[in-house]
Amino acid sequence: WQKREISNFDYLMYLNTLAGRSYNDYMQYPVFPWVLADYHSETLNLTNPHTFRDLSKPMGAQTVERKRKFIQRFDEVEKSEGDLSAQCHYCTHYSSAIIVASYLVRMEPFTQTFCSLQGGSFDVADRMFHSVKSTWESASRDNMSDVRELIPEFFYLPEFLTNANHFELGCMQDGTVLGDVQLPPWADGDPHKFIQLHRQALESDYVSAHLHHWIDLIFGHKQHGSAAVEAVNTYHPYFYGDKMDLNNIKDPLIKSTILGFISNFGQIPKQV
Kindly give, in sequence order, each residue whose CB lies less than 8 Å from that of residue 44, ignoring residues fewer than 6 positions away.
36, 38, 51, 184, 186, 197, 201
Kindly give, in sequence order, each residue whose CB lies less than 8 Å from that of residue 260, ignoring residues fewer than 6 positions away.
none
* Distances from the Cα of 216 to the Cα of 3, 128, 213, angstroms: 19, 30, 5
- Identify the CA nearest to 48 among candidates 189, 186, 217: 186
Instruction: Mean pLDDT check: name the lowest of 76-80, 196-200, 222-226.
Output: 76-80
Ranges 69-73, 118-122, 157-161, 264-268, most confident: 157-161
Count each helix (H run) and each strand (E run) in the chain, helices first.
9, 0
Mean pLDDT of 21-40: 96
Query: What number of residues does the chain have?
Result: 272
Residue 90 has pLDDT above 60, yes or no: yes
The pLDDT-based confidence of 31 (bands split at 50, 70, 90) is very high
Element spanning 65, H or E? helix 64-76
How far is the C-alpha of 39 from the C-alpha of 258, rounded, in Å?
37
Q: Check residue 243 and give its pLDDT.
A: 63
Q: Check residue 133 and give its pLDDT.
A: 98
Mean pLDDT of 146-160: 98
The pLDDT-based confidence of 205 (bands split at 50, 70, 90) is very high
Residue 147 has pLDDT above 60, yes or no: yes
The pLDDT-based confidence of 98 (bands split at 50, 70, 90) is very high
Q: Is 25 left (phi over 0), alpha (psi -120 to 50) or beta?
A: beta
- What pTM does this model have? 0.92
How far is the C-alpha of 39 from the C-alpha of 137, rounded, in Å?
9
Domain locations along the chain: 8-265
- Identify the CA nearest to 147 among candidates 216, 215, 193, 92: 92
Q: Check residue 80 and give its pLDDT.
A: 52
Other C-beta atoms closer than 10 Å to the C-beta of 158 total 17
Instruction: Mean pLDDT check: name the lowest of 119-128, 207-216, 242-251, 259-268.
Output: 242-251
Instruction: Mean pLDDT check: name the lowest of 15-24, 33-42, 190-199, 257-266.
Output: 257-266
- Identify the CA nearest to 161 among candidates 185, 193, 122: 193
Third-level CATH fold of 8-265: Neurobeachin; Chain: A, domain 1 (1.10.1540)
In this structure, is the dihedral angle defined by the CA atoms of residues 193, 194, 200 and 201, taken in order, positive or negative?
A: positive
The DSSP letter of residue 78 is P
At position 229, the amino acid (one-letter code) is V
Residue 84 has pLDDT above 60, yes or no: no
Q: Check residue 244 and give its pLDDT.
A: 63
